[in-house]
Chains A and B, each alone.
Chain A
Amino acid sequence: MKENNTLFFKKGAADGIAIAVGYMPVAITFGLIAGATGLSVVEAVLMSMIVFAGAAQYMALSMIALGSGALEIVLATFIVNLRHLLMSASIHERAEKGSKGARAVYAFGMTDEVFAVASAKPAPIRSFYIIGVGAVAYGSWVGFTGVGFYMGSFLPLILQESMAIALYALFIALLVPSIKKDGKMVIILAGMGGLFHSLFALFLSTGWSIMFATILAVMLYEGMERLLGVKGELKENENREEEEKASCQ
Chain B
Amino acid sequence: MSMTVIWMIIAMGVVTYIPRLLPLVMLKTDNWPAWARRMLTRVPYAVLGALILPGILTVHDNIWFATVSGGAAVLLAYIGMPLIVVVGGAIGMLGIMQLLF
Contact = CB atoms under 8 A, between A and B. Distances in A.
Interface of A: 22, 24-26, 29, 39-40, 42-43, 46-47, 50-53, 55-56, 58-60, 62, 70, 73-75, 77-89, 91-93, 100, 103-104, 106-108, 110, 158-159, 161-178, 180, 185-186, 189-198, 201, 209-210, 213-214, 217-219, 221-222
The 9 closest A-B pairs by CB, nearest first: A190-B49, A194-B53, A193-B49, A25-B84, A169-B90, A176-B77, A89-B29, A50-B13, A193-B46
Looking at chain B's contact residues, the main secondary structure is helix
B35 interface: yes
Contacts of A40: 1
A70 B11 contact: yes
Nearest to B89: A169
B19 A173 contact: no
A194 B52 contact: yes
A87 B40 CA distance: 10
Given A43-B6, A104-B25, A198-B54, A214 B43 contact: yes
Looking at chain A's contact residues, the main secondary structure is helix
Nearest to B10: A50
B95 A198 contact: no
Contacts of B99: 158
A165 B56 contact: yes
Nearest to A200: B50
A173 B47 contact: no
B12 A189 contact: no
Contacts of B42: 185, 189, 218, 221-222
Contact of A50 (B2, B12, B39): B12
Given A173-B77, A176-B78, A78 B49 contact: no
Contacts of B17: 107-108
B21 A88 contact: yes
6 contacts: A40-B1, A88-B22, A180-B78, A186-B45, A194-B53, A210-B47
B92 to A, nearest CB: 7
Given A172-B70, A194-B49, A217-B49, A86 B55 contact: no
A139 to B, nearest CB: 17
Given A180-B78, A196-B50, A158 B24 contact: no
